[in-house]
Amino acid sequence: MVDAIKIDGVSKRYGDLQALNNVTLNIKKGEFFGLLGPNGAGKSTLISALAGLIKADDGALSVSGHDVVRDYRLARKSLGVVPQEIVMDPFFNVRETLEFQSGYYGVKNNGPWIDELLEQLGLADKADKNMRQLSGGMKRRVLIAQALVHKPQVLVLDEPTAGVDVELRQSMWRFVRRLHREGHTIVLTTHYLEEAEELCDRIAIINHGEIIALETKQDLLAKGLGSKLLVRARAAIESVPERYQSDVVRHEGNELEIALSSHSESVMQILDRLREQGIEVDYVSVLNDTLEDVFVRMTSSQSDASTLSGVSS
């Protein structure tokens, strides 16, 4: 089966900045794929190369088997991109915007699909409004409709919920989930990591232009720090037993979080040690790692390594 997206050894440099460095990854048809990374990591550069907006210095990219340089017409017809920035033409209303977008792809008699997009994205009552009259959230919905107007099989969402209120966000995800159920490949970049954790099957983390992780969501979560023990005491915790001091994740007032992964002791044994220290425990809970925990650990550790490398050189 042909991959929905294939990226092979892609590099891109802007002067002294290595924006992408030998990036290789494949995204399968029908996947809900997360592409995560801090600001400036290379996500938008990679998406721009995939969409044909910039040309990679090295490597190759393809969409549904079509090379983005040699077969650019078919590659672009297979791809819909919702950009991070709100881009609009202030001279058209919503329906006209979608009709012109259809024309760019040579799609004729597209009225029924445009009507469905307007309905599904909650834009039906805004169809005749000028783009300048829409709120930021509604403009973002129009961007999604534009990306889908030519019925691409691969949809890239670059920070689609930035600045969108809760109600709009929920309805947007309902529609995107429907597209995924119908067989569309979805690629999501987001700083709301709880969205990626809930939605994505597989996740890549990019930092400093390099892929530092490419795993299923379950395998990626398993790479985290492990579970944490949350203890809430009846009074402020003045000191922590020496044997646990290196494993303290958080110590604020009467609350204490201790990483469990490096201990063979049971939770009850740890609680006994705390009580021996004079800590009166009022509440206990075991917290599992989130995707955000893993993300912060992996990106911060790579940043630290890069800083040390720069200093040593």
Domain that holds residue 244: 228-287
Instruction: Tell me whether residue 295 is in a domain.
Output: no
Burial class (CB in 10 A: 0-12, 13-18, 19+), 71: middle
Based on the fold, state whether residues 160 and 213 are members of the same structural domain.
Answer: yes
Q: Give residue for tokens 């709301």.
A: 192
Which of the 8 DSSP states describes residue 65?
T
Q: Whats the size of the chain, residue-wise? A: 313
Based on the fold, state whether residues 139 and 268 are members of the same structural domain.
Answer: no
Could you give the angle at the alpha carbon of 151 between the alpha carbons of 150 and 157, nearest 5°? 95
Instruction: Tell me whether residue 149 is in a domain.
Output: yes
pLDDT exceeds cutoff 60 at 313: no
Based on the fold, state whether residues 236 and 121 are members of the same structural domain.
Answer: no
pLDDT per position as a tens digit, 24-57: 999 999 999 999 999 889 999 999 999 999 999 9
CATH number at residue 173: 3.40.50.300
Q: Give residue for tokens 């050189």.
A: 313
CB 126 within 8 A of CB 169: no
Based on the fold, state whether residues 18 and 46 are members of the same structural domain.
Answer: yes
Q: What is the pLDDT of residue 228?
A: 82
DSSP-based three-state secondary structure for 110: coil
Based on the fold, state whether residues 198 and 245 are members of the same structural domain.
Answer: no
Neighbours of 24 (CB within 10 A): 12
pLDDT per position as a tens digit, 139-173: 888 999 999 999 999 999 998 887 777 877 888 88
pLDDT exceeds cutoff 50 at 282: yes
Quick one: pLDDT band at residue 307, thresholds 50, 70, 90?
A: very low
Print the SS3 string covering 145-212: HHHHCCCCCEEEEECCCCCCCHHHHHHHHHHHHHHHHCCCEEEEECCCHHHHHHHCCEEEEEECCEEE
Q: What is the pLDDT of residue 193?
A: 87
Average per-residue pLDDT in the chain? 88
Q: What is the pLDDT of residue 305?
A: 46
Based on the fold, state whether residues 93 and 184 are members of the same structural domain.
Answer: yes
d(CA 206, CA 260): 28
pLDDT per position as a tens digit, 85-115: 888 888 899 999 999 999 989 999 999 999 9
Instruction: Tell me whether residue 307 is in a domain.
Output: no
CB 35 within 8 A of CB 212: no
Q: What is the pLDDT of residue 226?
A: 63
Instruction: Tell me whether residue 166 is in a domain.
Output: yes
Based on the fold, state whether residues 90 and 118 are members of the same structural domain.
Answer: yes
Based on the fold, state whether residues 249 and 194 are members of the same structural domain.
Answer: no
Candidates 226, 225, 215, 264; CA nearest to 243 is 264
Instruction: Tell me whether residue 273 is in a domain.
Output: yes
Q: Give residue for tokens 């993300």.
A: 295
d(CA 143, CA 148): 9
For the segment 168-193, the average pLDDT, to the nearest whole number, is: 90
Based on the fold, state whether residues 163 and 113 are members of the same structural domain.
Answer: yes
Q: Which of 161, 193, 219 is the last residue of a domain?
A: 219
d(CA 222, CA 60): 32
Q: What is the pLDDT of residue 87?
A: 80
Based on the fold, state whether residues 215 and 246 are members of the same structural domain.
Answer: no
Lowest-confidence region among 40-49, 121-130, 244-253: 244-253
What beta strand segments (E) does 28-118 contain?
A: 32-36, 58-63, 66-67, 79-82
- Its pTM stands at 0.77
Quick one: pLDDT band at residue 129, thresholds 50, 70, 90?
A: very high
How many domains is the chain built from?
A: 2
Q: Which residues contact 159 (CB under 8 A, 6 or more apart)?
A: 84, 189, 190, 191
Percent of the chain with pLDDT over 70: 93
Instruction: Tell me whether residue 205 is in a domain.
Output: yes
Q: Is the dihedral of CA 214, 216, 217, 221 positive or negative?
A: negative
Based on the fold, state whether residues 264 and 215 are members of the same structural domain.
Answer: no
Instruction: Tell me whether residue 304 is in a domain.
Output: no
Q: Which of 170, 185, 219 is the last residue of a domain?
A: 219
Going from the C-alpha of 302 to that of each of 24, 92, 185, 223, 262, the distances in angstroms are 18, 46, 30, 15, 21
Percent of the chain with pLDDT over 90: 58
Q: What is the pLDDT of residue 311?
A: 38
Instruction: Tell me whether residue 270 is in a domain.
Output: yes
Quick one: pLDDT band at residue 261, thresholds 50, 70, 90?
A: low
pLDDT exceeds cutoff 80 at 223: no
For the segment 162-186, the average pLDDT, to the nearest whole number, is: 86
Based on the fold, state whether residues 144 and 106 are members of the same structural domain.
Answer: yes
Q: Give residue for tokens 């999501």.
A: 188
pLDDT exceeds cutoff 50 at 310: no
Which residue type does 81 have? V
Q: What is the pLDDT of residue 308?
A: 34
Q: What is the pLDDT of residue 49?
A: 96
